[in-house]
Structure 1
Amino acid sequence: MSVQKTTKFTSALDIPAAFVEKNVKLRGKLHHITEKGLEVEHVPISIPFFTSLQRKWQGPGLLLVRLAGVQLAPGALGWLQRHLRPSQIVWFQLLGREDEALECLVLVNKGRFLSVCLNEEILRQGLGRAARVDGLHHESRLYWRLHKRLLRAELKALKKKKGIWKEESYLERIRDRISSNKFVQMLKQFVSWLRNSV
């Protein structure tokens, strides 16, 4: 495995099954944020001479990295684009692979000693719902540990009424009730009929 850690993976299918089974953590450079996931260029552990040779004969080859255990809400993409910089270094822990996509926990360094798990942060902001962690066996200890972490993050957003959990304000509820009232709807139709007939 040590030799392969210096190998640059340009496709999800190039990554050995053992890496996925052992939930190996890889690092990469972020290129694009799309609706399908993060497009990341794998940056292997570098041996300077070897790395410069590799760059000459290998293209950037982007890996599609998805946030495992998270079902993204509509505002999530915009939030990711605002909080992540192009060419930012991210760490992604392999949890599963589905065709060309990798199911991962994605970590971003925020300062010297602090890293943030994007999977949890999206849920904490109320920009998604906790979902099944694809790729991991449901009986495994890791699956339940991760699922618990994700549910805890979602619960924080729910308690703080953030994102998709934000309740309508009292005025919004009254306005909705008034506009859905049958008498008010008939009155609107009558007014529009009057305007059209004049």
Structure 2
Amino acid sequence: MAGQPAAAATPPPNPDGAAPNVVARISQWADDHLRLVRNISTVMAVAGVMLLLRSVRLTSKFTRSSDIPVEFIRKNVKLRGRLHRITENGLEIEHIPITLPVISSWRKEPCGVLLIKLAGVELTETGKVWLQKELKPSQVLWFQLLGKENSALFCYLLVNKGRFFSVSLNEEILRRGLGKTVLVKGLSHNSKIYWRIHRNLLKAELTALRKGEGIWKEDSEKESYLEKLKGSWREIWKKDSYLKKNGSDSNLKKESYYDRFKRSYETWKENMNNHSLVLKFRELMSRIHFRRKE
């Protein structure tokens, strides 16, 4: 009796066979819908960038002083803004955030203005009139955060003069004798720029005093100013003194040459620091730096 033919041996099931099969199907589907896959990847990339920008507040618009991080004021960050109007309380300026093509156009910006006061300057009535004439509506300017009191921000205002450089509006007012120097509210004595800010303001005021500009035309005003120098401003005046009375005449002469070069270099450096492109880059880096610290 012939034996029954042996049944063909069936291969054992491969437990890993399902995985390659699924991968192959996904790959085939991706190849068939290549354009859709690319679009999805693009959307996810854009969404990721937008979330990143939002997380580091690179494009945030500040509409109230409370919106500004404390670190921005402590580090004296410079921001860009557009003038709305000048009031008795100060300047109302709309903050202009860092804008990015396409992404910024998708988002609706909040409305609101910041109340800015000229740091270290007590404006006269003539100074207020001059300020109204000097600044144009919607004029773009930079403001450096120095201090804060309630809803007001005390700032150094920088106005574009020419194509590349800016000048300090605070110092210009004092140079014209349209105001008097006062201590900057909210600026910490431990700040790196505390003495530099007050020294520059005092220099500008002394220029007006020497030329008899504005309020310094009257001798009585000059006398009261000199009395002030003997008091609270004496320390600042000493720190700003370039020629000291000790040493020989030759040493004084050499020192004056050095100080003249030093002043020229500091002026050039200040002008470069106030270049609009430099200010934008610094604002960008400040936002990234402060976000990392949070």
What TM-score results when the alignment is normalised by the length of structure 2?
0.54
Contact 1:132 1:147 in 2 (8 A): yes
Mapped pair 1:145 → 2:196: yes
- Could you list the runs of 5+ residues in structure 2 that have no partner in the other structure? 1-52, 220-294
Q: Higher strand fraction: Structure 1 or Structure 2?
A: 1
SS in 1 for 2:102: helix
Contact 1:34 1:77 in 2 (8 A): no
Mapped pair 1:81 → 2:137: no
Amino acid at match of 2:68: I
List, as ranges, runs of 4+ consecutive aligned residues in structure 1 with deviation greater than 4 Å: none
Percent identity of paired positions between Structure 1 and Structure 2 = 59
In structure 2, the CA distance between the partners of 1:20 and 1:70, relative to structure 1 (3 Å rule), is same
Amino acid at match of 2:58: K
SS in 2 for 1:44: coil
CA root-mean-square deviation = 1.5
Amino acid at match of 1:35: E
In structure 2, the CA distance between the partners of 1:15 and 1:160, relative to structure 1 (3 Å rule), is same
Could you list the per-position Cα deviations for residues 34-57 of structure 1 after superposition, in whole angstroms to 9, with x for gaps in the alignment? Answer: 121110000011013333344x35
SS in 2 for 1:75: helix
Structure-1 separation of matches of 2:73 and 2:105:
27
Mapped pair 1:126 → 2:191: no
What TM-score results when the alignment is normalised by the length of structure 1?
0.79
Please tell me whether Structure 1 or Structure 2 has the larger radius of gyration of its CA atoms.
Answer: 2
Mapped pair 1:4 → 2:67: no
Mapped pair 1:66 → 2:121: no
Structure-1 separation of matches of 2:205 and 2:113:
30
Aligned 1:6-25 pairs, distance under 5 A: 6-25=59-78
SS in 1 for 2:206: helix
Amino acid at match of 1:49: V
Residue in structure 2 matching 1:48, options 89, 96, 101: 101
Amino acid at match of 1:7: S
Amino acid at match of 1:105: Y
In structure 2, the CA distance between the partners of 1:9 and 1:163, relative to structure 1 (3 Å rule), is same
Amino acid at match of 1:9: F
Aligned residues: 165
SS in 1 for 2:94: strand
Structure-1 separation of matches of 2:197 and 2:74:
16
Structure-2 separation of matches of 1:22 and 1:111:
28
